[in-house]
Structure 1
Amino acid sequence: MPTSLFLIAALILYPRTGSRRRLKALYRTDQKPKFNPKSVRVLCVVAASLAAFAAYQVGGAAALVAATVVTATIRERVRRQATWRHKQRAAQDLCTSLDTLIAELRTGAHTTTALKVTAAQSPGDTVGIFERAAARTAVGTYTTDIFTGDQDDDAMRQLSSAWHIAHMHGAALAGLLHTVRDNIVAEQQRKNDVDTAMAGARATALLLAALPLVGVVLGELMGAAPLRTLFTTSIGAGLLVLGSVLGCVGLLWSDRIMDYARTVPAVRP
């Protein structure tokens, strides 16, 4: 039996063929672990399914509905926060690309060449923006929609307008783009300041949404048995579903108000 176990372990640990691949398998300190979104989705689905099954076994259909509502709320909040971080990261990448473009233009490079160099050095998803702009300028297109992408529409409009004005009226393109970049940086700073200022409000909303759970725990400690009422009686089942829905709706509504406050464009004089 030990011999068989050692043989199995040897087969599992046997290095891959090829000296270079064996060395890579042994020395991986310079390689970052790859993030696999599909695996995370599968794990989330499995975890949600297990949680739903456990809720149904403990409290029946009412607990299943309540667990579904809470899970959907958590998923929506995570999605919103991920979207917010993606937009902030995209704005930073856009400013980095604009720095490269402005530097190329100030050295006297042609606009198409400057756009191609910027596209080659752009981080994140901004590569496609400058690749499309380079393709359009290569054929002589200088319209107000030369810049398009998934970033903020206001930033794209400012960039396209600056490009159009520079080629229609002879203004310095590098100076206009630098002004647009400063506007984007100022807007992102304002959004970050608003987001930081609302941290207390978000914590308060989350605390208020969790207060019913605190009440249930206190009831159990006092011997009132609220869980038995919620899981074994029809009135308790209705209150469980209603309380879960109202708490989650209130939390999502608070998130929507705060999302609007931090994303609404600033009023420019």
Structure 2
Amino acid sequence: MVPLFFLTLATLAWQPRAARPQQRLRNLAHRKRPPFRLPRPTMPTSTALAAATGWFLLGPAGAISAALLAAITWHRHRAKNEIRTRLHNLDSTSEAIKGFVAELTAGAHPAHAAERAAEDATHPGAQVLQTLATSLRLGAPATEIPNAGLAHAWQLANRHGLPLADVLGPLADDLQRRARFGRQVLAKMAGARTSASILACLPLLGFVAGESVGAHPYETLAHTATGQILLATGAILACAGILWTNRLTEAAIT
């Protein structure tokens, strides 16, 4: 009876560590909270907000001008991100193919070599190699290979009996050269893009200068039909110049 009595007391007095309030508070204090991030504005939201502001300040032509400028700014930002992503994809695919070539040179089977190279590669090169390994293990034709360069190299090696590593080496070098050339073009075109932005902002500087000397261009632009027409026409021409500059830059890179 005595051992049973002490065993009962011990059971009643024991509490799990996780059930203690102090331990729970300590766990909550050390728990990592996700960082707070503001939601990214979308193009329709930004354009609508700019149009409403332009209408309030300069009337219908102001709404048109502000909406156009917001849309062009959004388009330019997205185009710059797309170019950077494209160059990063070229670098990633080039490094992944070089790792694939190294595994093939060491004597590994193509599917196994692609899997091992994908472990050390970055996205999206790793995804290309993983898909390639899956295609090779399933015996899919070369046309099912996710990358056009890899598919062409695979067809060339099978058709002419060439070592796959010898065919993929120049492909990786070509991708690397394309990425390097794209960054050089971006660096050389930075001056032209900056000049286009400055030229697009010159009318705004003229507006501020006119107000400072007492010419009152705001009254003309906001409250006269001629001013409204001139404001909308100037905004359209400025946006067309920015679009043309972006088109020239993208064409030089691609």
Normalised by the length of structure 2, the TM-score is 0.81
**1:174-209 CA distance string (max 9 Å, x none):** 222111111111121122222212222112211221
1:185 to 160, 173, 176: 176
Contact 1:142 1:167 in 2 (8 A): no
Deviation at 1:230, TM superposition (A): 0.6
Indicate the residue corresponding to 1:80 in structure 2: 79
Q: 1:262 aligned to 2:253?
A: yes
By how many angstroms is 1:229 displaced?
0.7
Larger radius of gyration: 2
Bigger shift: 132-141 or 248-257?
Answer: 132-141
Distance in 1 (alpha carbons) for counterparts of 2:87 and 2:68? 29
**Percentage of pairs with the same residue:** 28
Aligned-partner Cα distance in 1 for 2:214–2:227: 16
The residue aligned with 1:99 is 98
C-alpha contact (below 8 Å) 1:191/1:262 kept by paired residues: yes
Q: Is the 8 A contact 1:142 1:163 kept in 2?
A: no
Aligned to 1:40: 40
How far apart in 2 are the matches of 1:141 and 1:248? 48
Partner of 1:222: 213
* Inter-partner Cα distance in structure 1 for 2:36 and 2:80: 22
Which residue in 1 is equivalent to 2:139?
140
Which among 226, 232, 247 is matched to residue 223 of structure 2? 232
- Go from structure 1 to structure 2 and tell me whether the alpha carbon gap of 1:35 and 1:95 turns closer, same or farther (over 3 Å shift): farther
Report the Cα distance in structure 2 between the residues aligned to 1:34 and 1:168, rounded to whole angstroms.
55
Which residue among 146, 150, 153 is the counterpart of 1:162? Answer: 153
Count of residue correspondences: 233
Q: Secondary structure at the match of 1:227?
A: helix
Q: CA deviation at 1:18?
A: 6.7
Corresponding residue for 1:250?
241
Residues 209 and 139 of structure 1: CA distance in aligned 2, closer, same or farther (over 3 Å): same
Distance 2:113 2:217 in 1: 68
In the alignment, which residue of structure 2 is the partner of 1:52? 51
Q: CA deviation at 1:235?
A: 0.9
Shift of 1:131: 2.5
Q: Residue type of the partner of 1:147?
A: I
Instruction: After TM superposition, give the deviation of residue 97 of structure 1 in Å.
Output: 1.2
Residue among 21, 25, 30 paired with 1:23? 30
1:146 is displaced (CA, Å) by 4.1
Alignment deviations for residues 19-53 of structure 1 (CA, whole Å, 9 cap, x no partner): 5453233xx8xx9x5867xx1136x7666544433
Q: Give the aligned CA root-mean-square deviation in angstroms.
A: 2.6
What stretches of structure 1 of length at least 5 have no aligned partner? 1-14, 149-155, 264-269
What CA distance in whole angstroms lies between the structure 2 residues aligned with 1:73 and 1:232? 26
Q: Is the 8 A contact 1:105 1:174 kept in 2?
A: yes
The 1:73–1:261 alpha-carbon spacing in structure 2 relative to 1, beyond 3 Å, is: same
Paired with 1:181 and 1:84, the residues of 2 have a C-alpha distance of 19
Deviation of 1:225 (Å)? 0.9
Letter in 2 for 1:41: P
Task: In structure 2, list runs of 5 or more residues that go unmatched.
Answer: 1-21
1:61-84 superposed Cα distances (whole Å, 9 cap, x missing partner): 221111111111101101110110
| Aligned mates of 1:242, 1:16 — CA distance in 2 | 68
d(CA) in 1 for partners of 2:103 and 2:215? 73
In the aligned structure 1, how far is the partner of 2:245 from the partner of 2:47?
A: 25
Aligned pair 1:174/2:165, yes or no?
A: yes
2:76 alignment partner, SS class? helix
- How far apart are the structure 2 equivalents of 1:146 and 1:168? 16
